[in-house]
């Protein structure tokens, strides 16, 4: 399905946008915690599950393992590059389609559960999207929204000042780039209220901590360096930090510098992953 490039979300998502590498890095990095979160859903063999905003598709295999060969998993994403990546790794009992959640071709009341990670915060109208997703659920079906970093991440346990300044610089960058207010940027923290506003029942929340200490594994280092130190931070934060703070941050993020954060014996990283689940009323 070819979607128009103008079909985009609040963070600039379009069918042409590609951040596959960042998604793959995160899924490899947080795989144990994501699989633990999936396990809490107690999916049953034979269930039909939708991964809404499936990205590069790593979760398709994890979900398929829960529903077995008798079950079906469908991955859906807007970006063409993500769809191609997801199709390359999908298991036999999984299908991948390119679609916008608000105009999906999927049949109403056709899924037992919906899994979605770091997706609804990208949408202009998350409430309308949750309601659209809910229509795809059978009576008693559940939607599980996963969101990382509802709490501030900890990177520099030894320097909370620099960490605070860096996190604020990231927020300033996103506010300016996407013309968002501070309130709009932090609205994602209201997932419990979002599901209740959509009319879902038995809304629950559980937060998992992604915790790493030195020495970190190679895949953890790849994620932290490429996705955070270089992509999320990097040169684009220079306008939002004082010269000396930016220079200190650069040294800590440089694998070739003696001050590289991940080589320090006191490196201790914390990131939250919150799963909020709501159910459609049974018949």
Total domains in the chain come to 2
| Range 174-179 average pLDDT | 86
Element (H, E) at 248: helix 243-253
**pLDDT at position 11:** 46
Judgement on whether residues 166 and 202 belong to the same structural domain of the protein: no
The predicted pLDDT at position 184 comes to 66
pLDDT for the residue 181: 75
Provide the H-helix boundaries in 68-187.
80-89, 126-134, 160-178, 182-186
- Residue 100: both structure tokens together: 């916008």
Closest CA to 6 of 90, 78, 92: 78
Q: Give the distance, in angstroms, between the CA of residue 35 and the centroid of all CA atoms in the same chain.
A: 14
For residue 217, what is the DSSP state?
Answer: P
- Interatomic CA distance for residues 43 and 62, integer angstroms: 11
Average pLDDT, the chain: 93
* Residue 130 sits in the same domain as residue 51: yes
192 lies in the same domain as 170: no
Do 265 and 199 have their domain in common?
A: no
Residue 4 falls inside a structural domain: no
pLDDT value, residue 13? 64
Task: For residues 191 and 217, state if they share a domain.
Answer: no
Beta bridge partners of 76: 52, 97
- 59 and 198, same structural domain? yes
Residue 242: give the domain boundaries.
160-178+212-269
For residue 5, being part of any structural domain is answered with no
CB 116 within 8 A of CB 145: yes
Task: Indicate the pairing of strand 201-213 with strand 111-117.
Answer: unpaired
For residue 204, being part of any structural domain is answered with yes
Q: Helix/strand/coil (H, E, C) string of 8-25?
A: CCCCCCCCCCCCHHHHHH
Q: Say yes or no: 94 and 198 in one domain.
A: yes
Q: Which residue has the higher pLDDT, 178 or 226?
A: 226
Asked if the structure places residue 221 within a domain, the reply is: yes
Judge if 135 and 226 occupy the same domain.
no
Q: Which is nearest to 51 in space by CA: 14, 76, 26?
A: 76
Residue given tokens 């795809």 in the structure block = 136
- For the residues 58-67, what does the mean pLDDT come to? 98
Rounded distance between C-alpha atoms, residue 64 and residue 32, angstroms = 16
Residue 237's closest CA among 130, 151, 165? 165
Write the DSSP string, 18-62: --HHHHHHHHHHSHHHHHHHHHTT---TT-EEEEET-TTSHHHHH
Contacts of 235 (CB under 8 A, 6+ apart): none
- 237 lies in the same domain as 258: yes
pTM: 0.92
What pLDDT is stored for residue 15 in this prediction? 85
Torsion (CA) 264, 152, 149, 82 in degrees, nearest 10: -60
- Taken in order 98, 78, 220, 209, the sign of the CA dihedral is negative
Tell me the β-bridge partners of 96: 75
Same domain, 41 and 135: yes
Chain CA centroid to CA 226, Å? 16
CATH label of the domain that carries residue 137: 3.40.50.150
Contact 52, 101 (CB under 8 A): yes
Same domain, 125 and 138: yes
Quick one: 137 and 222 in the same domain? no
* 154 part of a folded domain: no
**Using one digit for the tens of pLDDT, what is the confidence trace for 195-224?**
999 999 999 999 999 999 999 999 999 999
Q: What is the pLDDT of residue 9?
A: 52
């Amino acid at each position: 399905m070819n979607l128009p490039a103008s079909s985009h979300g609040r963070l600039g998502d379009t069918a042409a946008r590609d951040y596959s590498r960042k998604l793959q890095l995160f899924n490899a990095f947080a795989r144990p915690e994501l699989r633990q979160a999936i396990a809490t859903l107690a999916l049953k063999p034979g269930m039909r599950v939708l991964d809404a905003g499936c990205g590069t598709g790593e979760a398709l295999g994890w979900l398929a393992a829960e529903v077995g060969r008798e079950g079906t998993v469908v991955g859906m994403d807007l970006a063409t590059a993500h769809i191609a990546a997801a199709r390359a790794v999908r298991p036999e009992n999984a299908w991948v389609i390119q679609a916008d959640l608000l105009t999906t071709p999927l049949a109403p009341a056709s899924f037992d559960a919906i899994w979605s990670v770091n997706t609804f915060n990208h949408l202009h109208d998350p409430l309308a999207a949750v309601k659209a997703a809910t229509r795809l659920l059978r009576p008693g079906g559940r939607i599980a929204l996963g969101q990382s970093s509802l709490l501030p991440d900890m990177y520099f346990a030894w320097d909370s000042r620099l960490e605070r300044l860096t996190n604020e610089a990231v927020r300033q960058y996103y506010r300016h780039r996407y013309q968002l207010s501070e309130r709009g940027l932090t609205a994602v923290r209201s997932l419990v209220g979002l599901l209740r506003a959509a009319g879902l029942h038995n809304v629950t929340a559980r937060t998992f901590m992604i915790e790493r200490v030195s020495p970190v594994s190679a895949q953890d280092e790849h994620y932290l360096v490429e996705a955070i130190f270089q992509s999320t931070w990097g040169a684009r934060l220079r306008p939002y930090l004082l010269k000396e703070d930016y220079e200190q941050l650069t040294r800590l993020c440089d694998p070739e510098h003696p001050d590289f954060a991940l080589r320090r014996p006191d490196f201790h990283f914390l990131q939250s992953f919150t799963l909020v689940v709501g159910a459609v009323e049974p018949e």
